[in-house]
Structure 1
Amino acid sequence: MFITFWGTGDALGVPRVYCSCGVCEEARNGGENRRYRSLVQLADDAFGTLLIDCGPDWRTGMEAAKLRHIDGMLITHAHFDHIAGLPEYADMCRWLGCKGRVFAMPDVIDEILVRYPWLNAHIEFVPIAGEMKFGGWQASCWKVNHGRNGFAYAFRFTDSASGRSFAYCSDSIDLRGDELDPMREVDVLILGTSFYEEPYPFESRSVYDVKEALELVERLKPGKTYFTHMSHDIDVTRDYGLPAGTAFARTGLTVIV
């Protein structure tokens, strides 16, 4: 499977429209810190193209990937930066004369349709109820703590033949017990980290910072870890001395599992 990062930014993306910090200016001038809202493309001959999430930069990602059609989506939660592209996806399906497919937990589907009640005319919303199968990959979904923002969901894919696996958890913090178990010893872990070291009170936060995530990685022991969902606090051109096997995801990066 090929995993391509279309977006690696947090809810506001980089550059911030109001900000003139060094990271935002570097991004504004076409630099490596330009970050769209978090979204990854999964591509495999057996199931085609799936996306995880569909934020407001979905159209930009489709154009960059030169895609005119996708085979489905999985949604982590119903926050704006993860679902705001769904009306454009539905419009694409309307013009192509096809029915889109979106897999999500039932409560997430309910929240999406409260905000966009017309979407089910062009999108089939498939409630997740247990294990899913995409080609030779088994996929599972579980709830994770999203701090002051409530909760989100994470996904794990495991290849039935080889046992190779990856987990995607873009929006979480202070995970414990069963929230962590599906991410242990995966070959690739994709984890959200908004700041390098977030200065705000813990009770006001919703996503790990990098220093906390590195401690978590030591416990989970994945093969490789890529950090996503990054704010303008993180400068990917800077050497933070990240340990071997960990890296900041870049727009357009493709990882093979």
Structure 2
Amino acid sequence: MDQNVDRLVFAGTGDAMGVPRVYCDCQICEEARSTGVNRRFRSSVVVAGPDGEFMIDCGPDWRTQMEMAGKRFIRDIVITHAHFDHIGGLPEWADACRRLGIKGQLYTPQEVIDIILRQYPWLNRHLELHPIDEGLSLASWEVKGWKVNHGKNGYSYAYRLSKPGITWVYCSDSIGLPEDQKQPLYGLDLLVLGTSFYKEEAEYAGRSVYDMTEALELLAEVKPGRTIFTHMSHDVDIRKDYGLPEQVALASTGCTVSLTKE
């Protein structure tokens, strides 16, 4: 892909446990161990283009994701929320910053910063932590976050990113969004949405992320130009035809899409 074109790279497309699950011998986990089509690291993306690059989320697979991409460092990372699958790689990133003598730049709302520093109180020796409650500009993208319902797991933040000609949203961890939280999803060229299962059978009160059937109902309402599902568990086989609409796709590890209006 043209390096002068803005692009989105899926460094990780898995749910909190990733695929394969170490204890599991289901067909999808076994396939992930062999040919690796369904191998999924914890969800994270890289936004790259002629004006710079940044990552969204830094989970425990961060080092492996960087190695697979042939990267030795990344300076800017935006965090959606302070759950381990989204911040577990921060100590390794901070160590890279220490070794290279470069201050990493972490961006997230203040309440998320507060939780991160309670878990890793030494991080601000190597990282600069920027509260972005009012939004920010990064690599020529205008980025605005808002709190979304994460079911039994509390809350996460979704991010709406805009520049002339395209607006898209990254919303990896959400379920049952009320009307006010849906509003930023209207008028999008692209929606990246977390869907852990095709059809989750667990009791709704104990769940935390949309399944695909529920997500399709949401898409019918907010009508993005195209949608990519991520944050998928070992229930999802990306080789399978789920009968999704033409404008809806499943992310695969390492896949890259252009951030241009189609």
TM-score class normalised by the smaller sequence: over 0.9
Normalization by structure 2: what TM-score?
Answer: 0.95
Contact 2:169 2:188 (8 Å CA) reproduced: yes
Q: 2:120 aligns with which of 116, 120, 124?
A: 116
Q: How does 1:125-164 map to 2 (within 5 A)?
A: 125-159=129-163, 161-162=164-165, 164=166
Query: Which residue matches 2:222?
Result: 220
Q: Counterpart in 2 of 1:30?
A: 35
Question: 2:8 maps to which residue?
Answer: 3
Task: Determine helix, strand or coil for the equivalent of 2:113.
Answer: helix
Q: Which residue of 1 aligns with 2:79?
A: 75
Taking structure 1 as the reference length, the TM-score comes to 0.97
Cα deviation, 1:93-144, whole Å, max 9, x if unaligned, reads: 0010010000001110010110111111000000013131124321100000
* Aligned partner of residue 180 in structure 1, secondary structure: helix
Contact 2:82 2:115 in 1 (8 A): yes
Shift of 1:217: 0.7
Tell me which residue corresponds to 1:106.
110
Alignment partner of 1:255 out of 254, 257, 260: 257
Alignment match, 2:90: 86
Structure 1 residues without counterparts, runs of 5 or longer: none
Per-residue deviation, residues 12-34 of structure 1 (Å, max 9, x unmatched): 00001000000000001132100
**How many corresponding residue pairs?**
254
Q: Which amino acid aligns with 1:228?
A: T
Structure 2, unaligned runs of 5 or more: 1-5
Shift in Å at residue 68 of structure 1? 1.3
Which residue identity does 1:25 align to in structure 2? E
Match of residue 3 from structure 2: none
Q: Is the 8 A contact 2:108 2:133 kept in 1?
A: no
2:59 maps to which of 55, 58, 70: 55
User: Aligned letter for 1:210?
Assistant: M
**Counterpart-to-counterpart distance in 2, 1:23 and 1:225:** 23
Instruction: Show the 5 A alignment for 1:225-244.
Output: 225-244=227-246
- When the two chains are superposed, the root-mean-square deviation of aligned CA atoms in Å is 0.8
